[in-house]
A = this chain, B = another copy of it.
Amino acid sequence: MYCNEVKSGQCDGRATPCVVKETYATALVDGRNGIGPVVGEFSMDLAIAKAKEAGCAWVTATRSNHYGIAAHYTLRAVEEGLIGISATNTSPLVVPTRAQQCVLGTNPISFAAPSKKDSFVLDMATSTAAIGKVEVQARKELPIPGGWGVDSTGNETRDPHRVLDGGGLMPLGGMEATAGYKGYGLAMMVELMCGTLGGGMYAHHIRKWTSTEHRPADLGQSFIAVDPEAFAPDFQTRLDTFIEEMRQLEPSQCGEPVLVAGDPERAHMQKVKEDGGILYHRNVLQAMETLAEWLNVAKLDTSTTQH
């Protein structure tokens, strides 16, 4: 998808972002319709540099594109001993509380903080579930749990096909009785931090995820960095203690330990290390080979492939 956009000129693969407005602790970055992660890394690194001077900093990027994993940016702050926050608006998939129509994105937010032994890494869509999870259930012809999605009239449904066919995802919290308006509020908050603050596309004005229309994404993102050393000393030690206290809580179900945000990903990284690399399905490897040929770049080194 990204390659198609660059090939067609819908996204400018050569663009470098620039600062269009700046204060001591803020910056507005023009992504110049470049590749999302290029805009994102530029903006987060600027927030980090400014936070090291000012104590905290807020950088908003406009005319950006899909920036991938929100935690990729907040982890850059963590590597520098800072707290990182990042959010992005995305294509409309979520139906606001009481509405019928998809108008908000899954608008993820990430908050990551450094500790000595580990780190706290929250990276969450503001919807209950990702659209991919609904698609998987549809392919398996299995129902979805309540609170995941609505049909085309805005009513809760357990049928994944009805969600995909003119319905949409529910905001975190589900229906109104279970406080779905909070997830809706969070999704709109992210939109304000990204599209509204940056002056780019927002909500239902953003092109659809599967859209083939030829216009720039014009997504917005925000990047916040905060130096914990500007506050009470020894933040990292206190966070280690806090994380460990949560993990040591008595679990409700035997064998299902209490986790802290970032733990599932850490466990997976450990598995990858033990496996000696990432295990890909052969179809993925085939697709990457085709892509490499198309782009005329070196093929993926699969010398450690396990058959």
Whether B101 lies near A250 (C-beta < 8 A) is: yes
Tell me which residues across on chain B come within 8 A of A183, comparing CB atoms: 172-173
Whether A145 lies near B178 (C-beta < 8 A) is: yes
Q: Which of B21, B53, B83 contacts A24 (CB 8 A)?
A: B53
Distance between Cα atoms of A113 and B183 in the complex (Å): 17
Whether B197 lies near A231 (C-beta < 8 A) is: yes
Tell me which residues across on chain B come within 8 A of A94, comparing CB atoms: none
A246 near B: Cβ within 8 Å? yes
Interface size class of A (residues with CB under 8 A): 35 or more
Distance between Cα atoms of A226 and B55 in the complex (Å): 14
Complex interface residues of chain A between 212 and 246 (CB less than 8 A to chain B): 226-228, 230-235, 238-239, 242, 245-246
A259 near B: Cβ within 8 Å? yes
**In the complex, how many angstroms separate the beta carbon of A109 from the nearest chain B beta carbon?**
9
Complex interface residues of chain A between 56 and 83 (CB less than 8 A to chain B): 56-58, 60, 62, 83
- A-B pairs, top 5 by smallest CB distance, nearest first, are A154-B252, A199-B232, A23-B55, A26-B55, A25-B54
Tell me the A residues contacting B by CB distance below 8 Å.
21, 23-26, 28, 53-58, 60, 62, 83, 96-101, 103, 111, 113, 120, 122, 124, 128-129, 145-148, 150, 153-155, 172-174, 177-179, 181-183, 185-186, 188-189, 191-192, 196-200, 202-204, 226-228, 230-235, 238-239, 242, 245-246, 249-253, 256-261
